[in-house]
Amino acid sequence: MAHKAFPMESSSKIFDEYYIDEDVGFALPNPLEELPYPYDAWISIAKNLPVLIENGELRAEVEKLPVLSINDLQGHKSQRLAHLVLGCITMAYVWNRGDGDVRKVLPSNIAIPYCKLSEKLGLPPILVYADCVLANWRKKDPHGWKGNPLLPEGLLYEGVWDTPKKFAGGSAAQSSIFQCFDVLLGIEQSAGEASAAEFLQEMRTYMPPAHQNFLRSLESGPSVREFVRSKGDASLQKTYNECVEAMVLLRSYHLQVVTDYIVTPARQQSKKNQKSEEPSKRENKGTGGTDIMNFLRNVRSTTVKALMVED
């Protein structure tokens, strides 16, 4: 049974158990940027991915790597950086220039340490939101795949599994903070949006286990929504609705960003290719493999329904 998080717990205790920081929230505080020998070989490739891809040298460089044990990767931050780096290398190795030359087998010299490290962290062996966002940032001023038709069977992790595995790509649905707000405000997907609810639940498995435990602990605690409703206080209800309205605005903005950076570019590319491969379906695929526009509209609609109406 997951430990329940209470407001009076010390910030250090919450971080130790859930990896949630009082300053940066679910993001990993001050992520590392370097790994010691021999893991620096991974860092070297990751830092030079654009050049290696452009020169057609990436796959050869990856295949030269030895199979490294993860036993000397000490500390949570080192392990998170290694998971980020191996995730980036994996994506680059599989997709390369993105011109259809896709590798369906991940070499054992990457697959074995990557999968062992993933198991240790409780994360899937794929580049997830916890890698490319939560553990992939630094202060500007230090002082102050699942829906892609090119891999229909998934990716084979050589030396780990005998059959290909399918994982969802990095998605904002894997953001711990978004689902945290939903839990706190009591925004629940209804039966009418079952697919959205199921997808969001699945995306939790791509979060660090400590974050999953934190969300479960919040769900098992008192309901803010029911507390506000039970008080019958107009001022309290107004404040609650302002929080929900902020989530509605955020999700409307998210829809616009997805339209600008996923749907519209995909539509333009389909026109350039002049192929009849059901472009409308491909245009609407999100990075996590969902029918992105319908999914986001459903989630926003559910958020709107959470607004309280005065009796």
Closest listed residue to residue 68, CA positions, set 116, 120, 126: 116
**Mind listing the pLDDT tens digit for each residue in 184-196?**
999 987 544 457 8
Residue with tokens 């009076």: 8
Q: What is the 3-state secondary structure (H, E, C) of the chain?
A: CCCCCCCCCCHHHHHHHHCCECCCECCCCCCCCCCCCCCHHHHHHHHCHHHHHHCCCHHHHHHHCCCCCCCCCCCHHHHHHHHHHHHHHHHHHHHCCCCCCCCCEECHHHHHHHHHHHHHHCCCCCCCHHHHHHCCCCCCCCCCCCCCCCCCCCEEECCCCCCCECCCCCCHHHCHHHHHHHHHHCCCCCHHHHHHHHHHHHHHCCCCHHHHHHHHHHHCCCCHHHHHHHHCCHHHHHHHHHHHHHHHHHHHHHHHHHHHHHHHHHHHHHHHHCCCCCHHHHHCECCCCCEHHHHHHHHHHHHHHCCCCCC
Q: Is the omega angle on the peptide bond into residue 38 within 30 degrees of 0, that is, cis?
A: yes
Whole-number pLDDT of residue 172:
87
Domains recognised in the chain with CATH numbers: 11-170 (no CATH), 173-305 (1.20.58.480)
Full pLDDT tens readout for the chain, 311 residues? 455 555 445 667 787 889 999 889 999 999 999 999 999 999 999 999 999 999 999 999 999 999 999 999 999 999 999 999 999 999 999 999 888 899 999 999 999 999 999 999 999 999 999 999 999 999 876 655 556 677 888 899 999 999 999 898 888 889 999 999 999 999 987 544 457 888 899 999 999 999 999 999 999 999 999 999 999 999 999 999 999 999 999 999 999 999 998 888 888 887 777 654 454 555 555 554 557 888 899 999 999 999 998 76
pTM of the model as a whole: 0.75
What is the structure's pLDDT at 98?
Answer: 85
Over residues 246-285, the pLDDT tens digits come to 999 999 999 999 999 888 888 888 777 765 445 455 555 5
Instruction: State the CB neighbour count (10 A cutoff) for residue 277.
Output: 9
Contact, 128 vs 174, CB < 8 A? yes
What pLDDT does residue 5 have? 53
The torsion angles phi and psi of 20, rounded to 5 degrees, stand at -120, 125
Tokens at residue 2, please? 């997951």
